[in-house]
């Protein structure tokens, strides 16, 4: 039956590992592969599935292969490594965030082997992956989508097809503009609350209940105020997504100023060695900005010297 397709999972990182567990719970998972083998060996032992020796070996025992790797070149490398093990009629579903053009290129390479492809990037973060409450943004053919639906619903609460291959990634790009902009606003606001000497924990709880409420403020407000950036979404990955958006803006001949500002901030944090921290580590820069005098030390700071009124 359709719901019992044999699935293999490639890329057992922060998102992939919990998603593979959901596929297993739903009865689909038969094999896993990860570039760093220890992760695959540990999960396979835990779940009683096969730890494949390589992507082609994994493909040989599956009907559907799901991937969740870091970036564009990683995905295309995995697709190439899968090809020797794929059979006509199989389906590859990529849940990584890559450029729409990369999704279309992966689909082209797989079509040569008569293998279907869906781009299926995710929103909902590591918590969403653990809880099986992700939104899955799908691009690809309707028949492939219906075939994939039971697998995607094992970890996705909302599974929506937006159009042909690439449309899922285009939708994810739209999402990342909002993710980046909300992070800019929340981190800037909480650094200001600290600067003004407010009870910033009470600010999070109280303002989070009103028009300024957001997933990011709710889930990351308290941890960023405590200086904890170990949970969640690595900022190097958002920086990568903002690069995808910058390329989209160039291709469309438009400006995305929110994206440009956020991209510059995350480039700075990467250069400072914070790439593996959660995106809420952006508050570090907002706190520094305050210290370096972007805002006056107190609202009533006396102004002296030439030109003073």
List residues with catalytic annotation.
172
Q: Is the dihedral of CA 160, 153, 128, 120 positive or negative?
A: negative
* Of 200 and 280, CB closest to ligand NA7: 280
Q: What are the strands, taking DSSP E only, across the chain?
A: 7-10, 29-33, 50-51, 64-67, 91-94, 116-119, 122-123, 134-139, 156-163
Interface region with ligand NA7, contact rule CB under 6 A, candidates 11-19, 192-200, 247-255, 265-273:
11-19
Asked if 246 and 259 touch (Cβ cutoff 8 Å), the reply is yes
Q: Which of 8, 11, 116, 150 binds ligand NA7 (CB under 6 A)?
A: 11
Interface region with ligand NA7, contact rule CB under 6 A, candidates 70-78, 150-158, 206-214, 252-260:
70-78
Q: How far is the CB of 273 from ligand NA7 (least distance, A)?
A: 16
* Of 15 and 290, CB closest to ligand NA7: 15
* Of 69 and 225, CB closest to ligand NA7: 69
Q: How far is the CB of 298 from ligand NA7 (least distance, A)?
A: 41
C-alpha 60/C-alpha 268 separation (Å) is 43
C-alpha 214/C-alpha 44 separation (Å) is 37
The tokens for 139 are: 């691009």
Site for ligand NA7 in 17-46 (CB under 6 A): 34-36, 39
User: What's the alpha-carbon Rg for the chain, to the nearest Å?
Assistant: 22
C-alpha 16/C-alpha 22 separation (Å) is 10
DSSP labels, 293-308: TSS-SSTTPPP-STT-
Task: Note whether 130 binds ligand NA7 by CB under 6 A.
Answer: no
Site for ligand NA7 in 213-242 (CB under 6 A): 234, 237
Q: Which of 56, 74, 133, 249 binds ligand NA7 (CB under 6 A)?
A: 74
Task: Note whether 292 binds ligand NA7 by CB under 6 A.
Answer: no
Which stretches of the chain bind ligand NA7, using CB under 6 A?
A: 11-16, 34-36, 39, 68-70, 74, 77-78, 96-97, 234, 237
């Amino acid at each position: 039956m359709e719901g019992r397709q044999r699935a293999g999972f490639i890329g057992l990182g922060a998102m992939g590992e919990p998603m593979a567990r959901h596929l297993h719970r739903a009865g689909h998972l038969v094999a896993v592969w990860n570039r760093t083998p220890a992760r695959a060996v540990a999960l396979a032992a835990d779940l009683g599935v096969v730890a494949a020796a390589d992507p082609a070996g994994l493909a040989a025992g599956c009907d559907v292969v799901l991937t969740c790797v870091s970036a564009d070149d990683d995905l295309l490398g995995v697709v190439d490594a899968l090809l020797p093990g794929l059979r006509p009629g199989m389906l590859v579903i990529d849940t990584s965030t890559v450029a729409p053009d990369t999704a279309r290129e992966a689909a082209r390479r797989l079509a040569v082997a008569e293998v279907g492809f869906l781009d299926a990037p995710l929103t909902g973060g590591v918590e969403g992956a653990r809880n099986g409450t992700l939104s899955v943004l799908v691009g690809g053919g309707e028949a492939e989508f219906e075939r994939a639906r039971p697998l995607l619903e094992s970890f996705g609460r909302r599974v929506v097809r937006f159009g042909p291959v690439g449309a899922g990634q285009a939708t994810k790009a739209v999402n990342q503009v909002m993710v980046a902009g909300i992070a800019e606003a929340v981190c800037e606001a909480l650094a200001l609350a600290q600067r003004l000497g407010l009870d910033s924990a009470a600010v999070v709880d109280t303002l989070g209940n009103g028009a300024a409420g957001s997933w990011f403020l709710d889930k990351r407000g308290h941890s960023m105020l405590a200086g904890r950036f170990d949970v969640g979404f690595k900022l190097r990955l958002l920086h990568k997504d903002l690069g995808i958006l910058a390329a989209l803006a160039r291709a469309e001949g438009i400006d995305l100023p929110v994206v440009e500002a956020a991209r510059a901030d995350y480039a700075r944090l990467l250069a400072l060695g914070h790439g593996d921290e959660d995106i809420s580590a952006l508050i570090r820069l907002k706190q520094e900005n305050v210290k370096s005098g972007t805002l006056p030390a107190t609202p009533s700071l006396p102004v002296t010297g030439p030109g003073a009124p």
